[in-house]
Amino acid sequence: MFAGLEVVANTLLIGGSVLPKKISIDLSTVKENNFYRDNDSIIETFNYGKTISIDPTRLSFSQATVSHQKGGKAYNYNSMVDSMKREGWNGDLVDIVIMPNDTVTSMDNTRILAAREANIDLKAKVRDFNTPLTKAESERFKVNGKTPNTWGEAIKLRVEKQASQKGTPDNWSIQFPYGSIFDPKVIKSK
């Protein structure tokens, strides 16, 4: 058995530091070879392009830092967490991308972090790494004159951009080329 995995009464329990919550899967319903990795449940069960509800601790971040105060918005990070604690998830879907290393990374970092802190599941749209972006999405995710063509390119550009961001640890983009499971630092403007 692998570290952190346990079978009890025909149920696979997955735990450990990466997944603070235990996940139960009834093994009698799992087809052979369907669940090689933890995130296969996202891929196999919901397919790309579908909307899912997911524990935010299962997602990686594409940024090392997030802003406390969103430009032009009446709310900030703390009020977002408080709202999620009271009302649960009530915002737009977040976009999550299945990466080449089979992890799942989000384009929407502040809301993922807030959902983690509020201890709630979030609503997400699953994207394949190679799925083309719409023209509007390509423009939205443009970085330093580089326009991504796919969801994977958009995530990689965002990760690479972290090297030039204030407050980002040295070599973060190199250490985490497909995103990081570690919580981003919340940056307050002065």
pLDDT over 80 (residue 16): no
Question: Can you give the pLDDT at residue 46?
Answer: 46
The token pair that represents 157 in the structure block? 């550009």
Q: Which of 39, 37, 30, 36 is nearest to 11 (CA)?
A: 30
pLDDT over 80 (residue 100): yes
Q: Answer yes or no: is 37 within a domain.
A: no
Q: Answer yes or no: is 16 within a domain.
A: no
Q: Answer yes or no: is 4 within a domain.
A: no
Q: Band of the pLDDT at 148, cuts 50, 70, 90? A: very high
Q: Answer yes or no: is 120 within a domain.
A: yes
Distances (CA, A) of 102 to 91, 110, 189: 26, 22, 35
Q: What angle do CA 168, 172, 177 make, to 5 degrees?
A: 135
Q: What is the mean pLDDT of residues 106-119?
A: 94
CA distance 89 to 151: 23
Q: Answer yes or no: is 152 within a domain.
A: yes
Q: What residues make up the domain containing 61?
A: 51-187
What is the tally of structural domains in the chain?
Answer: 1
Question: Can you give the pLDDT at residue 22?
Answer: 47
User: Residue 78 is part of a domain; what is its CATH number?
Assistant: 3.90.1530
pLDDT in tens, 67-88: 888 777 778 899 999 999 999 9
pLDDT over 90 (residue 106): yes
Q: Answer yes or no: is 106 within a domain.
A: yes
Q: Answer yes or no: is 2 within a domain.
A: no
CB distance 102 to 38 below 8 Å? no
Label residue 66 exposed, middle or buried (CB < 10 Å: 0-12, 13-18, 19+): buried
